[in-house]
Amino acid sequence: MTGAGGDAGDRETAPAPLSRHILTLADTKRLLGIRYSDWILGSPSIETGIAASSMAQDEWGHARLLYAMLKKQGFDPFEVEHTRPAGRYYSVPALDRPFADWADFTAAVVVVDGALSVALESFAAGNFALARSRIPKMLAEEEYHGRFGFAWFSRLAEAGGEAKARLSEAALAMLPSTLAWLLPDDDAYASLVAEGRVLPEDRVRERCLERLAAVLAQAGIALAGVRPARKGWDPERRRGPGAPGEEAVERARGDRNRSLFVE
């Protein structure tokens, strides 16, 4: 993958901060859609399976809109979507592996999808015209995800016992790496703040607390006390070590239907 100014066939060049930011959002949405789609069948009820399907479609559609923004940054959106290996994905580590159970699914709707919405709000509040025009519609569609996730999180937390314990375990496993993704504390993000592309980290942190602290508290989690996990931090991909599973990336790229692509 080469960015603006990259030479074809040359070594891969790191994307500029704005391009990197768009990739982190788009890749996380694409992988989140894959993980949601795994639960269209096997969820607790027909209604929840339909919800999983609807949310998966939302995430895939949002990812496509975000990838399309990269054209203005000197990238070929088709190449970005359909040719990258797993090691070049910029997605949240919590999505590297399939959700083990419905507690994982529910925690991801609250933690990962919630963090994504905060990141999108920050981007839409900046001065990048495409974000300002396209993201508000995404956020409107995301409102259902929030209601669904909060309702199920509350339901499992109120059930107590094993359900609450498993929910707390799942959310706590996702939070540190997701917070590091949302609040990267690095030079690239600082440059986006300085350029007016996104909100400062303190305001993003404040919005995250406003959105998630109360619902997480139902599972005994004090969000203000959770520290972002930056061990082995990869500043280019804005995440820790590892990558999405190859099976998920093959699905995200559409490998099985490559010969049928019509753009």
In tens, the pLDDT along 178-204 reads: 999 999 988 999 999 999 999 999 999
Residue-by-residue DSSP string for 93-131: GGGSS---SHHHHHHHHHHHHHHHHHHHHHHHTSS-HHH
Mean pLDDT to the nearest integer, 62-88: 91
3-state secondary structure of 234: strand
Going by C-alpha positions, the residue among 255, 122, 232 that lies closest to residue 180 is: 232
In tens, the pLDDT along 200-245 reads: 999 999 999 999 999 999 999 999 999 999 999 998 898 999 999 9
- Would you state the pLDDT for residue 4? 37
Query: How many percent of the chain have pLDDT more than 70?
Result: 92
How far is Cα 252 from Cα 263, in angstroms, rounded to an integer? 16
Angle at 193 between CA 114 and CA 207, to 5 degrees: 30
